[in-house]
Structure 1
Amino acid sequence: MKLSNYMTGLLLAILAATGFACKAIFVKLAYRYGVDGTTLVTIRLLLVLPIIAIMRLFRKAPTARISWSDRGMIIVLGLLGYYLASLLDFLGLETVSASIERLILCLYPTLTVLLSAWLMKTSISRRMWSAMALTYCGMVIVLTPDFASARLDLLGMFFIVASTVSYAFYLTWCPPVIKRIGSMRFAELALTVSAIAMVIHYMLTRPLGILTHQPLAVWGYGLIMALVATVLPLYALSAAMARIGAGKTALIGSVGPILTIFMSIGILDEHLSPLQWAGVTVVLTGIWLVGQRKT
């Protein structure tokens, strides 16, 4: 592998991790203007569509026909991964800090292992059980101070956990479809399904005027989320995996929670206690061990 190609892959992986880590920060900044989670995720997905259309102009789109079974799976996975998981996540962020949200979301690898064992009858090694137990013990350490001081909103936490479960189902079921139609084509189609579903959801639950009368800053943050925290990281992630492999890309992506925590401290003035920092270390160690499993 040429050094320049390898370094490009590393930079793309860092770019993807940073983009995904920024999402919760932009959501919190937008909430300062009084927008609700449903409206904000609708704005984000609406703005994703033209960006995807523009990106497709710069690359040769595949023309192979997609089977009806894969079309059905794309609809199901689009609803799980970018519609339901995003909606629940944004609703949770209305009351849960960006730091806690990011740590809960990073539990999805452990849930994916459990779902694979349940749905696909795969085995879980003793080492993997130990790693997952370590991860959840660390999460208990992180959440205990907020529970004790009644600072943690239980409904908001429920939304974040439900978002993580939805995303874990998405990750469990999407690999065969991605293998057949390609990662970027799948991501583009799934995002399109999600945007359509979110628009329908919005029209059934909100007056259209709420969307059109949002402050310009809210639309600005929505555009930043669509571009910097959604579309560009997806393309960068795919390109990084092609250059340095999925393993190294995932390893670099594991720094995402730390990036989110530091950004939440510097930008949102959030903070974690020393005990919670210890819990963060335990959680990320467990997640790293889960990520070392053989596939």
Structure 2
Amino acid sequence: MKTNSSTYTGIVFAILGVILFSAKAVLVKMAYEYQISSEHLLLFRMIFSLPFYIVIGIWSRLKHPEKVTQSDYGWVLFFGVIGYYLASYFDFLGLQYIKAGLERIILFIYPTLVLLISRFFFKKKISNRQLIAIGITYVGVTITFWEEVGANSSHLELGAFLIFLSALTYASYLVGSGWLIPKFGVVTFTSYVMIVSSICVLVQYLLFDREDLTVYPTEVYLIGGIMAIFSTLAPSYLVSAAIARLGASNFSIIASLGPASTIVLAYFLLGEQLSSVQMIGSGIVIIGIYIVTRKKRQ
């Protein structure tokens, strides 16, 4: 990877984006202290950020008109539902049952899921290096998860399964949408899929909920606003800009900072404690993700 100014800028964008996305789990746990449902919290996150995505999407399309077909818009609709609506929904549900740090560890197996999905649907060969990395990653998750089993509630397995579904849907989005980004551009594509996701959350509320949204304390709306701007809007574009400068593989290496950054944030903001065994498990996961995403030196 060449070390020019664009690369350094991409590295900064990637680090900031990963940290801000990781902070979402901590903010969700903080909001749950006020007895808010996962559906309402997800709704606040998306509707607070929706106006910004609409404005940015319109601006980006006017500045860079895309050459796409109707089927391309259909795929944007599909991946908006899969990649951000379902992935976020499963994530919010799972965080009701497990710690924020453990959530990040399970969620960050998505690079290995990308490999497996690519192999199954697109017949892309998985190298020996990638197989080793997959094994290392799951060993780390098992170590971390095993200690939690004996020290947490009976709903731990449910929470972990929901977070795994979040990782799976997000990995599916990454595999299937890569060919659309060059057609739309990173900013326009990101805006479109986030608009679709926001509409899905709003439709879910109108069809199945319709409870009063004004009953929560001011702190809930403040957390929702912070999550919308700093853990949704800003990192979504930072990550897109980082991928444009570094490439997806190089970005994935930096994305390995996610579990560690969440653990640190949860320690300072939530008072969560992680044992030495869990720290070792986290380290093993990060090593596995690094191996599976790093580029071979030419």
User: 1:32 and 2:55 equivalent?
Assistant: no
Give per-residue Cα distances to partners, 1:203-231, cap 9 Å, x unaligned.
2221241x233322211111111111111
> 1:272 offset after TM fit, Å?
1.3
Give per-residue Cα distances to partners, 1:179-201, cap 9 Å, x unaligned.
22112111111111111111111
User: 1:164 and 2:167 equivalent?
Assistant: yes
Q: Is the 8 A contact 2:133 2:289 kept in 1?
A: yes
Aligned residue for 1:82? Answer: 84
User: 1:258 and 2:272 equivalent?
Assistant: no
Q: Is the 8 A contact 2:94 2:160 kept in 1?
A: yes
Residues 83 and 92 of structure 1, relative CA distance in 2, 3 Å threshold? same
Instruction: Indicate the SS of the match to 1:135.
Output: helix
Q: Is the 8 A contact 1:51 1:227 kept in 2?
A: no
Q: Which amino acid aligns with 1:216?
A: T
Q: Is the 8 A contact 2:139 2:285 kept in 1?
A: yes
Report the Cα distance in structure 2 between the residues aligned to 1:57 and 1:64, rounded to whole angstroms.
Answer: 12
Q: Is the 8 A contact 2:112 2:289 kept in 1?
A: yes
Residues 248 and 166 of structure 1, relative CA distance in 2, 3 Å threshold? closer
Aligned residue for 1:177? Answer: 180
Instruction: Indicate the SS of the match to 2:178.
Output: helix
Q: Is the 8 A contact 1:128 1:293 kept in 2?
A: no
**So what's the TM-score if we normalise by structure 1?**
0.92
Q: How many residue pairs align between the two structures?
A: 293
Report the Cα distance in structure 2 between the residues aligned to 1:50 and 1:153, rounded to whole angstroms.
Answer: 36
Bigger shift: 42-51 or 241-250?
241-250
Q: Which amino acid aligns with 1:102?
A: R
Superposed, 1:140-289 pairs within 5 Å as 140-151=142-153, 153-209=156-212, 211-289=213-291
> 1:249 offset after TM fit, Å?
3.2
Residues 243 and 125 of structure 1, relative CA distance in 2, 3 Å threshold? closer
Aligned residue for 1:43? Answer: 44
> 1:131 offset after TM fit, Å?
1.1
Q: Which amino acid aligns with 1:12?
A: F
Q: Which amino acid aligns with 1:155?
A: L
> 1:69 offset after TM fit, Å?
1.0
**So what's the TM-score if we normalise by structure 2?**
0.91
Q: Which amino acid aligns with 2:159?
A: G
> 1:54 offset after TM fit, Å?
4.2
Report the Cα distance in structure 1 between the residues aligned to 2:100 and 2:87, rounded to whole angstroms.
Answer: 16
Residues 57 and 125 of structure 1, relative CA distance in 2, 3 Å threshold? closer
Residues 145 and 2 of structure 1, relative CA distance in 2, 3 Å threshold? closer
Instruction: Indicate the SS of the match to 1:109.
Output: helix
For the aligned residue pairs, the C-alpha RMSD in angstroms reads: 2.0
> 1:28 offset after TM fit, Å?
0.8
Give per-residue Cα distances to partners, 1:19-62, cap 9 Å, x unaligned.
11111011111111111101100111111111223445775542
Instruction: Indicate the SS of the match to 2:102.
Output: helix
Instruction: Indicate the SS of the match to 2:271.
Output: coil
Q: Which amino acid aligns with 2:36?
A: V
> 1:67 offset after TM fit, Å?
0.9
> 1:158 offset after TM fit, Å?
1.6
- What percent of counterpart residues are identical? 36
Report the Cα distance in structure 1 between the residues aligned to 2:286 and 2:250, rounded to whole angstroms.
Answer: 16
Instruction: Indicate the SS of the match to 1:271.
Output: coil
> 1:243 offset after TM fit, Å?
3.9
Instruction: Indicate the SS of the match to 1:47.
Output: helix
Report the Cα distance in structure 2 between the residues aligned to 1:150 and 1:96, rounded to whole angstroms.
Answer: 8
Report the Cα distance in structure 2 between the residues aligned to 1:278 and 1:212, rounded to whole angstroms.
Answer: 43
Q: Which amino acid aligns with 1:189?
A: Y
Q: Which amino acid aligns with 2:93?
A: L
Q: Is the 8 A contact 1:88 1:159 kept in 2?
A: yes
Residues 99 and 291 of structure 1, relative CA distance in 2, 3 Å threshold? same
Report the Cα distance in structure 1 between the residues aligned to 2:133 and 2:12, rounded to whole angstroms.
Answer: 29
1:95 to 94, 97, 119: 97
Report the Cα distance in structure 1 between the residues aligned to 2:43 and 2:236, rounded to whole angstroms.
Answer: 19
Instruction: Indicate the SS of the match to 1:94.
Output: coil
Instruction: Indicate the SS of the match to 1:176.
Output: coil
Report the Cα distance in structure 2 between the residues aligned to 1:153 and 1:206, rounded to whole angstroms.
Answer: 26
Q: Is the 8 A contact 2:137 2:285 kept in 1?
A: yes
Bigger shift: 239-248 or 265-274?
239-248
Gap regions ≥5 residues in structure 1? none
Q: Is the 8 A contact 2:253 2:294 kept in 1?
A: no
Report the Cα distance in structure 2 between the residues aligned to 1:114 and 1:123, rounded to whole angstroms.
Answer: 9
